[in-house]
Chains A and B, each alone.
Chain A
Amino acid sequence: MNKENMNPADEKLGALLRASRVSPALPPRFQENVWRRIGDAEAPVLSRSRLSWLDALAALVLRPRFALATVTVLIIAGALLGVRDGSQIARRDAQTQYLAAVAPAALR
Chain B
Amino acid sequence: MNRSLVIVLGTLALGMVMFGGSYAVSRHVGERCLTQPGNDLAWLRQEFHLNDAEMARIQKLHENYLPQCAAMCQKIAAKKMEVEAALNGATNVTPVATQKLAELAALRAQCQAQMLRHFTEVSQTMPPEQGRRYLAEMQRITLGLHEQTEQSMSISAGDMHGHN
Contact = CB atoms under 8 A, between A and B. Distances in A.
Interface of A: 51, 54-55, 57-58, 61-62, 70-71, 74-87, 89-91, 93-95, 97-104, 106-108
Given A79-B26, A82-B29, A94-B47, 8 more contacts: A51-B4, A86-B31, A90-B31, A91-B47, A98-B41, A99-B141, A104-B115, A108-B145
Interface of B: 2-5, 7-8, 11, 15, 18-37, 39-44, 46-47, 62, 65-66, 69, 72-73, 76, 108, 111-112, 115, 118-119, 138, 141-142, 145
Q: Which applies to chain A's interface (DSSP): helix, strand, loop or mixed? A: helix
Contacts of A86: 26-34
Contacts of A79: 22-23, 25-26
Given A74-B15, A91-B47, A57 B8 contact: yes
Q: Which applies to chain B's interface (DSSP): helix, strand, loop or mixed? A: helix
Nearest to A71: B18
Given A74-B19, A107-B115, A61 B26 contact: no
